[in-house]
Structure 1
Amino acid sequence: MTTNTITTVWKEKMQFESDNPSGHKLTLYDASADNGDLQGYGPKALMLSSLAGCTGLDVVSLLTKMRAEVEDFKMVVTGELTDEHPKFYHKVHLVYQFYGSDLQEDKIKKAVNLSVERYCGVMEMFRQFAEVTTEIQMHENE
């Protein structure tokens, strides 16, 4: 069983610095308390980035194995928070956008579906508390 441990340290005001198992650090802050002098990531928005990063890594790995090339790939994740505290994402929509010439739609859809349904652990975690929907968009270059 794999275990991850991180350490998060209060730096100033509403700002923390957190490490991860690779040793890299990032800054977390409360955007509502920012008067222009804080920089970093909001914890809830970072969760959406984690979701995109997890599934994106899966998709790129699978497309490479399938020899399906894309020129560009991005994801747009929208999370809707509940109105009452504790506020959490109860709806999340993830759009996969692929760009290129001669996109192999069948392989791209298969790679995305494998990530969504089988491989992405962050996706599975989100499903425990949110309605998660996905969409695939193909943008063929002319």
Structure 2
Amino acid sequence: MQANVKWVDGDTFVGLSHSGHNVVFDTGSDSAAPSPMEMVLMSAGCCSSVDVVSILQKSKQNFSNLEVKLSAERAETTPRVFTKINLHFVVTGKDVSEKHLSRAISLSAEKYCSVALMLDKTVDITHSYEIVEE
């Protein structure tokens, strides 16, 4: 896998992925786009969500929405790495099995989500969930 990041102006950069997609980053206080650390956090949420959706679909769970709310803590000093991340899954559906959801999250955390598994080497990652009945 390869990628390219190019400085645009000020604190703004554009990344070009191997698959040809552009992503804007902003490292300053203007917040014209997500920061690199915000992108890492969102990437962990997306990666894990892909797994959970796939596993819930395979287990024939009747859900219409999945959202993961991410919260993170960072070190106080440089480098301001993540020290803690929580992924809180909110699944909306009809008779969604808590057992299936818990299993899907565990499989993602322990086996499938490459982003979270990479971060887990140095970050305390926790998971929580709730089911909203339709």
What TM bracket, shorter-length normalisation? over 0.9
1:62 and 2:59 aligned = no
1:16 and 2:1 aligned = no
Bigger drift between 61-70 and 89-98 goes to: 61-70
Aligned residue in 2 for 1:26: 23
Residue 101 to residue 69, structure 1, CA distance change in 2 (3 Å): closer
- Structure 1 alignment gaps of length 5 or more: none
**Matched ranges for 1:1-142 at <5 A:** 4-32=1-29, 34=30, 39-141=32-134
After TM superposition, give the deviation of residue 39 of structure 1 in Å: 2.0
- Structure 2 alignment gaps of length 5 or more: none
Distance in 1 separating the partners of 2:124 and 2:80? 15
C-alpha contact 2:2 2:17 (8 A) present in aligned 1: yes
Deviation track 1:49-82 (CA, whole Å, cap 9, x = no partner) reads: 0001100111111112111121111001111011
Equivalent pairs counted in the alignment come to 134
After TM superposition, give the deviation of residue 31 of structure 1 in Å: 3.6
Q: Which stretches of structure 1, 4 residues or more, deviate above 2 A after TM superposition? A: none
**Greater fraction strand:** 2
Give the RMSD, CA atoms, in angstroms: 1.2
Scaled by the length of structure 2, what TM-score is found? 0.94
After TM superposition, give the deviation of residue 117 of structure 1 in Å: 1.1
1:59 match: secondary structure: helix
Distance in 1 separating the partners of 2:103 and 2:74? 30
C-alpha contact 2:105 2:127 (8 A) present in aligned 1: no
